[in-house]
Amino acid sequence: MSDVSTLPWAKADAGNAIALYARPGLDLRVKIDQAVQRLREASIAHGQGLVQSSSLGVEDMVVTDLIARHKLPIDIATLDTGKLHVETLGLLPIIEARYGRTVQVFQPRPEQVIAFVRREGDDAMFRSIELRKACCGLRKLEPLARMLQGRSAWITGLRREQSGARAEVAFDEDDGKGLRKISPIADWSWAEVWSYVEQHAVPYNPLHDQFMPSIGCAPCTRAIAVGEDFRAGRWWWEESNKECGLHAKTP
């Protein structure tokens, strides 16, 4: 792992996300050990069939750090929807430099994107839930399916605390599509995630310093206000359950 002394995000700094959120719980050390154990067991059980599907959000950065720090032979992959913030994409070379791991990037099929944008426009997602889901379908679900082709399990950074829809997330569950889905930090709190980031100098998306706890595509993510739900900044114009379908159990 590279020297972290020059990383600007390694320390709590006036108003940054570490200063705002990091509060180590008494059992963080235990939770870290348990998360590593879950990753180790998944790696043994699935071998090359296992991949971390990273959103490049802070939870996934923690999981990547756990994988790299403990030298686990687990592939790391992400989706580049073509609509991500430059700050999000900027994490890819940082991960590679910091951990010496190549991140596999899966993009939507260009012909599908061109046809959709030509037909519906670049702002289709704001016009109806159906169009928003169609956009998520071709920019996220289709590339995810390719990422998971030939795999038997995938790792996520889902946490139960993130939303009501995620309150039942298991450490190891059937994803509804024939694969196992491993969520090694499902029981971590937001404060514990940021404590880990601080203690291990984990690189993170600077947009987290701007009140964006959950970061997706640029047009569909905004900062949240005090008291708003964790995922209130995602598809904020919809009354939906704030999910894009990546974690839906139905195919």
The footprint of ligand SF4 (CB under 6 A) covers 81, 83, 125, 132, 135-136, 139-140, 216-217, 219-220, 244
Q: Smallest gap, in angstroms, from Cβ of residue 137 to ligand SF4?
A: 8
Q: Smallest gap, in angstroms, from Cβ of residue 237 to ligand SF4?
A: 11
The b/e string for 158-178 (b: 16+ C-beta within 10 A; e otherwise) is bbbbbbeebeebebebebeee
Reference 67, options 178, 158, 187, 156; nearest CA is: 156
Q: Smallest gap, in angstroms, from Cβ of residue 61 to ligand SF4?
A: 19
Nearer to ligand SF4 by C-beta: 127 or 249?
127
Q: Among this protein's residues, is 135 annotated catalytic?
A: no
Nearer to ligand SF4 by C-beta: 139 or 181?
139
Q: Smallest gap, in angstroms, from Cβ of residue 144 to ligand SF4?
A: 11
Nearer to ligand SF4 by C-beta: 10 or 147?
147
Q: Smallest gap, in angstroms, from Cβ of residue 139 to ligand SF4?
A: 4
Nearer to ligand SF4 by C-beta: 16 or 162?
162
Query: From edge to edge, which strands make up the β-sheet containing 153-155?
Result: 103-106, 75-79, 50-54, 153-155, 180-182, 172-174
Task: List the beta bridge partners of residue 75.
Answer: 51
Residues whose CB is less than 8 angstroms from the CB of residue 233 and which lie 6 or more positions away in sequence, other chains included: 211, 212, 213, 214, 221, 222, 223, 224
Nearer to ligand SF4 by C-beta: 80 or 172?
80
Q: Which residues are tagged catalytic?
A: 244
